[in-house]
Amino acid sequence: MEACLHLESNFKHLKIFLIGFFIFACNNEEDKKDTSIAIEDKVFDITISSSRPSSYNYNDPTATIGSTDSDGETRILLAIPQILNLYREDIILSSIANIEIHIITSSVDINPENIELSFIDKSWTPYASWNSRFSLAEGQEWSNPGGDIMDLESVSPSIEKAPDGSQQKKLIFNITKTLVEAVSQQTEIQGFLLRAKSDPNNADNTLKVFTSNYSGSYAPKAVLSFNKSEVIE
């Protein structure tokens, strides 16, 4: 075990998680090979709305995305989490099995094909709005109000029950393929845009989600899992 505690690496975050993993694995002899390598990181978000084109909201613990007659359309910008910066290291990239964004909702009354996570290559600040990447200064407007989406295929979620046994649902966006392809083309992704499209097949055109301001485990997060065999070879 001493070797476990004297690792030297550039990858500080990954190292901490992996050391924890291996210490845990060693302590549990029976399950020593039954634990996959997975790490999580919080995803920070802000809410933007067409009804408030020049203002932003990053304080509420929940946000209702989608469209209503009174409030127009609301979307969420999600900044790429720091842990995903690791993907720029080739050796890390080759060992990544899955990159997922997990978002908790109170219910899903929208046909999941109408829930889309898109990719953004322009940076924004915590003061971004529907019209601007930085609402406090001129000349930073989005080319397309509501966020400039990259020409990459959007991802719709799979849905699971929330792990705590509550009535909440977990939206799982598997972005592995798109992110790995983007990296291979040296395209830098700055974040994601979550939106709910109106459609006759929806029971409701809005979706209430927990934001990064929620203090509990329902806040959005990124989950990375690694190929154990490739990491150790």
Partner 1 sequence: MKTFAYFTSIFVCLVACSADKKPGNSPYFADDATLTVSGQFLDKDEKPLAARNIVLKNLRRFAYFDPTLTYFKESLNWFAHLAFPMFPSYELSYDSQKAKPNYFIKNVVTANDGSFRFQMRADQTMRDSEGGINITLVNDGEGKSASYAKYNFVIKAATSTLDPIHLCSLGDVFQEGSDSLNWTWTTPTYSLDHYEFRFADAQDNSLLWTSRLDATENSLKLPKAIFRAQSVRYAVEIFYHFEDQKQLSCLTPSQVFSITQAKSNLAQGKLAQAENIKFKITSLSNDRFNDESYFAAYDSRWIILDLLEETSIGSIHVHNLQFADSVSDTLTIEGAHLSSPNQFESLGLDAVKAERFASYNLPTPSSWARIRISSLSVFDNLQEITIQAGSN
3-state secondary structure of 12: helix
What per-residue string of b and e applies to 17-49 under the rule 16 or more CB within 10 Å gives b?
bbeebbeebeeeeeeeeeeebebebebbbbbbb
Tokens of 224: 């990375």
With CB under 8 A as the contact rule, the residue among 17, 87, 124, 226 that binds partner 1 is: 226
88 binds partner 1 (CB under 8 A): no
227 binds partner 1 (CB under 8 A): yes
**Which run of H or of E encompasses 105?**
strand 96-105
Q: With CB under 8 A as the contact rule, which of the stretches 58-66, 70-78, 88-96, 140-148 interacts with partner 1?
A: 88-96
1 binds partner 1 (CB under 8 A): yes
Calpha distance 84→79 (Å, rounded): 10
With CB under 8 A as the contact rule, the residue among 55, 88, 137, 160 that binds partner 1 is: 160
Q: Shortest distance, CB of residue 46 to partner 1, whole angstroms? A: 26
Tokens of 128: 């971004």
3-state secondary structure of 180: helix
Tokens of 50: 């067409």
Cβ nearer to partner 1, comparing 54 with 107: 107
203 binds partner 1 (CB under 8 A): yes
11 binds partner 1 (CB under 8 A): yes
3-state secondary structure of 150: coil
Q: Shortest distance, CB of residue 223 to partner 1, whole angstroms? A: 11
What does the binding site for partner 1 look like in residue numbers (CB under 8 A)? Answer: 1, 3-4, 6-11, 15, 18, 22, 25-26, 29, 32-38, 89, 91, 96-98, 107-113, 156-161, 169-170, 176, 200-204, 225-233
